[in-house]
Amino acid sequence: MDLFIQFVGAKWYLFTAVIVLLFLLMNHERRKGGPSVSPAQLTQLVNQHEGIVVDLREAADYRQGHIVESINLPLAKLPERIAELERYRDKPVVLVCKFGQSANGAAKSLKENGFTRVFKLGGGISEWQGSQLPLVRS
């Protein structure tokens, strides 16, 4: 402990930089909206915890291929249609977009509306396809 105190006293600028970086990292993670999950974790959330998959892509993209039993709720329409997800408020909600980037804003919006278990599919539907997992076409 004495060595640590000596280090902080002698290298206070390094210690301060580490603290600032940790704060910035925590702040960034908090603003992201929720944790990312892999395709395998998504499957577990749906099968073992009654999770629901919300596909944020436009209807045309959704029809070309989507995850089984997912709900299509385009990102642009989320604010006006968020009530449709009300019954899933306490269940895992996994958001899926094309590449995994657009889901951040949607996740944040759901959390602000009281959804407690919001996740994003890391890499989006592209990651799902890359893992050779099935898509339903309609």
> For residue range 26-55, what is the model confidence (pLDDT) as tens digits?
776 656 667 899 999 999 999 999 999 999
At residue 66 the predicted structure's pLDDT band, cuts being 50, 70 and 90, is very high
Q: What is the DSSP letter of 66?
A: B
Beta bridge partners, 119, equal 94
How many CA within 13 A on the CB side of residue 98?
8
CB 116 within 8 A of CB 33: no
- List the domain boundaries for the chain: 1-31, 34-130
Cα 133 from chain centroid (whole Å): 19
Tell me how crowded residue 88 is: count the other CB atoms within 10 A of its CB. Answer: 17
pTM: 0.77
Strands 52-55 and 93-96: parallel
Q: How high is the pLDDT of residue 62?
A: 97
For residues 16-28, average pLDDT:
83
| pLDDT tens string 75-111 | 999 999 999 999 999 999 999 999 988 898 899 999 9
Residue 133 scores a pLDDT above 70: yes
CATH architecture of the domain with residue range 34-130: 3-Layer(aba) Sandwich (3.40)
